[in-house]
């Protein structure tokens, strides 16, 4: 059962969030895709994250990680092994593809494959010009002691 949301009320009260609404719609559509192999997303610090994917049976050569314009794609395709006579095959080796939409300024810091778990480390690096900064408040220079205001006197008409 698919549920769709109407974001029109949010469009009326927000400016510049078009990409966020597109991400929400795409994420909703992508839920129909298989979640195999299972994965975790872990926040490891204030600005660092780790995606851990269970890739049992896959070697480093069977996996491919690409990052392009805020989209991280992890694909796996096993090399065809020599014909072996399996009596039972419970370890899935089917190809997979996981796509992760990353926020602006998040980059891939590295990847590691250990004990059947592929770990992809991410870090958010906000450029200096986009970080909050303190703005000095300038005040108008004050004059010395208040001088009597000069008045122009008009001649009185008699």
C-alpha to C-alpha distance for 54 and 36, rounded to whole angstroms: 9
Per-residue pLDDT of the chain (158 residues; tens, 9 = 90+): 556 777 777 777 777 777 777 777 776 665 556 688 999 999 999 999 999 999 998 999 999 999 998 899 999 998 876 677 888 888 888 899 999 989 889 999 999 999 999 999 999 998 888 888 888 899 887 666 655 566 666 666 65
For residue 62, which phi and psi values (nearest 5 degrees)?
Answer: -85, -10
Closest C-alpha to 77, from 94, 92, 90: 94
For residues 54 and 116, is the Cβ–Cβ distance under 8 A? yes
pTM value is 0.68
Predicted confidence at residue 133, as pLDDT, reads: 85
CB 21 within 8 A of CB 4: no
């Amino acid at each position: 059962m698919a549920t769709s949301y109407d974001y029109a009320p949010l469009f009326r009260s927000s400016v510049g969030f078009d990409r966020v609404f597109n991400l929400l719609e795409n994420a909703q559509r992508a839920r129909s895709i298989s979640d195999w192999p299972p994965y975790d997303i872990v926040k490891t610090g204030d600005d660092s994250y780790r995606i851990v994917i269970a890739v049992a049976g896959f070697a480093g050569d069977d996996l491919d990680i690409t990052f392009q314009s805020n989209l991280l794609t992890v694909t796996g395709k096993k090399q065809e092994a020599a014909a072996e006579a399996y009596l039972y095959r419970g370890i899935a080796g089917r190809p997979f593809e996981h796509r992760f939409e990353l926020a602006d300024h998040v980059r891939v810091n590295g990847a590691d494959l250990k004990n059947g778990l592929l770990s992809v480390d991410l870090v958010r690096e906000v450029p200096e010009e986009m970080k909050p900064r303190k703005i000095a408040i300038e005040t108008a220079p004050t004059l010395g002691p208040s001088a009597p205001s000069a008045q122009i006197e008009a001649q009185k008409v008699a």
